[in-house]
Amino acid sequence: MSVPSARPFRLRSVALTAYGPTVVASTGHGAVMPVLALRARDLGADVGTAAFVVALLGVGMLLASLPAGALVARVGERRTLLLGGLVDGAALLAAALTTSLAVLGGAVVVSGMAWTAFLIARQGYMIDAVPTAYRARAMSVLGGSHRVGLLLGPLLGAALIGLTDLRAAFVLAATLTVAAGLLALVMPDLGTTERAAARAGGHASVLSVLREHRRTLLTLGTAVVVIGASRSVRTVLLPLWAEQVGLSAATTSLVLAVAAAVDIAFFLPGGWLMDTRGRTVVAVPVVLAVALGCLLLPTTSGVAGLTAVACLMALGNGLGSGIVMTLGADAAPVAGRAQFLGGWRLCGDIGSTGGPVLVGVVASVAPLATAAVVVGVLGLAGTAWVARWTRRVDRGTLAG
C-alpha cells in the first residue's frame, strides 16, 4: 500500500533512496555492456561464443526472477538491494580479474541474477513509498534514471579504458554497484509489518501466488512480454540495418546517440500522461512506434532515413519509460506482492530475451528486410493486445 501523505508528494523525496542507487548501478552496467563481448574475446572466445557470453546476462535475469521475488518477500527491499549490490560487485570484480572464459560466463550469469533482484526490490519500494496518484511519474523517472546511467556508463568506461585496459570498465562497474547497494542503507525499511504478518502465518510460495493470479499474468502479463520484445528488437535491428546499408560504426553510434537523447527527453511527459490520461495512452505507442519503425526500416538507405526511424522508435520507448513497472504495481496484490513481482519481472525478461531471438531466427532464413517486416506485422498485432488489456487497467476491470 502507498504511504499516505499530509503534504503534496514531491519526487525529490525519493531522489536519494530510489533514483540515486538506480543511476549509480546503471552507470556501472552501462560501462560494461559495450565491452563485455570484447572481454570475452580477450579470453579467447570466438565471435559466436562472445555473443553467447553477452546473452548470459539475460539468462541470469530469467533464472533469478522468481527466486528474487521470494527473497524480497522474506528479507524486504532494503536488504535485497544491499545484498544485490554486493553480489553484483563481487561478480563484476571476478569478471575483471579472471583469466578463464568459463569464470567470466559464470560471473555474467550471477551479475544478471543480482540485477534482477535489485530491480524487483526497487519496484517494491516505490510501490510503498509513492502515493498511487504519482505512481506512474515516479516509475517513469525511475526508468529515466536507468537510461541516464546507461548513457553515462560508456563515457566513463571509455575514459578509464583509454588510461588502462578493458578490465577497468569492470572494476568501475563493481565499485558503482557496491556503492548503489550501500546507498540502500539510507532508505527506510518499509513493509516490516506486512512481512512480520506473513512470517507468522507462513510465507506464500511463489508458485501459489502465480497460480492465484494466473489470469492477470496470462493477459496483462503477455502484454508486458510484447512490450519487452518491442523494446529489445530495435537494439538488434537498427545496428544490423546500418551495417547492411553501408554506414560506418562511428556513424551508427552517432545515430543511436541521437535516438537515445530523444528517448531520455520523453520520459517525464510519459509519466505525466500515465498518471493523468491512463496507462493505455503510453503503452500503445511503445509497441506501435517500434512496429511502424520496423515496417519503415527497409525503405531507408542512408543516415537521414535511419535516424528518422530510430527517433520514431525512441519516442515511443521514451514515452513508455516505467510502463512495465507501473503496470506491475497496478496489478500487484497486497498479499504476496513480492512473489507476484518476480513473476511480472519474468514476463518482461521473456520479452526482452525473445525479441532479439525472433529477429535472429527470421534473419537466418530470410533477408534482414523480411525480418524487419515480419517483426513489424507481429508488432501491429501485439499493439492490439496491449491496447485491450491496458484499457482494462485504466477502467479498473482487469479481473473481469
Is residue 4 a part of any domain in this protein? Answer: no
Per-residue model confidence (pLDDT) at position 253: 77
246 and 129, same domain (yes or no): no
Check if the beta carbon of residue 142 is closer than 8 Å to that of residue 22: yes
197 and 279, same domain (yes or no): no
Q: How far is CA 41 from CA 54, 91, 97, 362, in A?
A: 11, 18, 15, 27
Per-residue model confidence (pLDDT) at position 2: 44
Q: What is the mean pLDDT of residues 273-282?
A: 92
DSSP state of 146: H
Per-residue model confidence (pLDDT) at position 150: 85
| Whole-number Å distance between alpha carbons of 24 and 373 | 38
Is residue 9 a part of any domain in this protein? Answer: no
190 and 234, same domain (yes or no): no
Tell whether the model's pLDDT for residue 33 goes beyond 90.
no
152 and 284, same domain (yes or no): no
> pLDDT tens digit string along 127-169?
888 898 899 999 999 988 988 888 888 888 888 888 888 899 9
% of the chain with per-residue pLDDT over 70 = 94
For position 293, which CATH number holds?
1.20.1250.20
* 171 vs 33: which has the higher pLDDT: 171
| Whole-number Å distance between alpha carbons of 210 and 225 | 16
Tell whether the model's pLDDT for residue 24 goes beyond 60.
yes
189 and 121, same domain (yes or no): yes
Is residue 194 a part of any domain in this protein? Answer: yes
> pLDDT tens digit string along 88-109?
999 999 999 999 999 999 999 9
Per-residue model confidence (pLDDT) at position 7: 59
393 and 349, same domain (yes or no): yes
Q: What is the mean pLDDT of residues 32-38?
A: 85
331 and 356, same domain (yes or no): yes
Is residue 353 a part of any domain in this protein? Answer: yes
Q: Among 6-20, 56-70, 185-199, which is the least confidently predicted range?
A: 185-199
* 10 vs 276: which has the higher pLDDT: 276
| Whole-number Å distance between alpha carbons of 140 and 322 | 4
Assign 1 a pLDDT band (cuts: 50, 70, 90): very low
Is residue 352 a part of any domain in this protein? Answer: yes
Q: What is the mean pLDDT of the chain?
A: 88
Tell whether the model's pLDDT for residue 368 goes beyond 60.
yes
> pLDDT tens digit string along 45-57?
887 788 788 888 9
246 and 315, same domain (yes or no): yes
Tell whether the model's pLDDT for residue 364 goes beyond 90.
no
Q: What is the mean pLDDT of residues 213-218?
A: 94
Per-residue model confidence (pLDDT) at position 4: 45
Give residue for cell 511463489. Answer: 206
Assign 269 a pLDDT band (cuts: 50, 70, 90): very high
> pLDDT tens digit string along 332-350?
998 888 899 999 999 998 9
Q: Produce one character per residue of 223-258: b if its CB has 16 or more CB atoms within 10 Å, e if not.
A: bbbbbbbbbbbbebbbbbbbeeeebeeeebeebbee
Per-residue model confidence (pLDDT) at position 198: 63
31 and 161, same domain (yes or no): yes
Is residue 166 a part of any domain in this protein? Answer: yes
Helices and strands in the chain, H and E counts: 17, 0
Residue 348: in which H helix or E strand, if any? Answer: helix 337-365
Is residue 132 a part of any domain in this protein? Answer: yes
Tell whether the model's pLDDT for residue 400 goes beyond 70.
no
Domain end position, chosen among 170, 188, 203: 203
100 and 185, same domain (yes or no): yes
101 and 118, same domain (yes or no): yes
295 and 272, same domain (yes or no): yes
* 47 vs 266: which has the higher pLDDT: 266
Domain end position, chosen among 187, 203, 219: 203
Is residue 6 a part of any domain in this protein? Answer: no
| Whole-number Å distance between alpha carbons of 301 and 145 | 33
Judging by beta carbons within 10 Å of its beta carbon (0-12, 13-18, 19+), is residue 380 exposed, middle or buried? middle
* 142 vs 253: which has the higher pLDDT: 142
Domain end position, chosen among 188, 203, 218: 203
Closest CA to 287 of 177, 139, 390, 399: 390
Count structural domains, the chain.
2
Q: Which residue segment(s) compose the domain that 359 sits in? A: 204-400
Residues near 166 by Cβ (< 8 Å), separated by ≥ 6?
35, 38, 39, 42
Per-residue model confidence (pLDDT) at position 155: 84
Assign 204 a pLDDT band (cuts: 50, 70, 90): confident
